[in-house]
Structure 1
Amino acid sequence: MRRYNLIEPGFVDDETDPDGYKTAYDRIGPKVGGDKLGATHYLIRPGQHLCPYHYEYAEEEWLLVLEGRPSVRHPGGTDELREGDIVAFVEGPDGAHQVSNFSDADARVLMWANLSDTGAVVYPDSDKISINPKDRRDHIIVQRSAAVDYWDGER
């Protein structure tokens, strides 16, 4: 049996994250051998966002607050969460969310979701859509406003 300990995470910083989105993470799924659910333990520093405002197609995400007081922006506004709170972000526009830390102390959250071979993520603030197939050669992020007709360019 493989295990992961939430008390002793192995956080990694992604040096490519821009200012405002500098968080640390520890991917749990590969460490415990899971292949149907993905889970990540995040450390969100004060004044940072975990991600841009977005919603998913093909995945439902859940969040558990382990430490601190992160805030979640959602279609109905912004709510501050506290340790022990669990929220779900359903598939589609009703599940739109952005997790942030507006407090002056670190926040730790656990997020998990079903894994999908192909999904799409919509970023309403920047009018982008990301198509995420299992075969990363076809991964793309484009402006939704650049949409074309189905027959455009076909012969």
Structure 2
Amino acid sequence: MVKYSDEALDRTFAALADPTRRALLARLEPNAEEGMPVSALAEPFTMSLPAILKHLKVLSDAGLITRSKSGRTVTCRLNAEPMAHAMEWLDRYQHFWTERLDRLVALVEEDALLEGGTLLEDDPCPQTRTSRRSQVLPSSGVSKPHPKRSMPPGPIPKKS
């Protein structure tokens, strides 16, 4: 079993929770040798450069980007490793829910076959031949008509 750092996962998910930060990450090339200058990274956004820098700090603190400075130019590179750890953590739950949903599908399919009478017909136990739905939700199968209105629809007539 892989040991996950709660603090690192918290920082990763907190950083990814913001749509601006996800958009910034999407602009970075996954395997780029050189980074993208911050000015080019911030170009399509309508917010100020200091606001972009705050978002980049959060991404950097989460380890999702690395920043380097050459002269006056700051460049950013994507570091996907924290996202890989987050995906491993999510995969555990995906496996859990996939298994549960597969079991649910099997039960629903079994229930549908039981209702059709094609499964377990020579089963000596009559309870397995009846639908679970009919045991839980008995229905008469007849809908009641809506009651008639006492007045036609429309504005209420004024009294004289």
Please say which structure displays the higher CA radius of gyration. 2
TM-score, reference length from structure 1: 0.24
The structure carrying a bigger helix percent of its residues is 2
Instruction: Give the TM-score normalised by the residue count of structure 2.
Output: 0.23
> Larger strand proportion, structure 1 or 2?
1
| Relative contact order, higher structure (CA 8 A, sep 6+) | 1
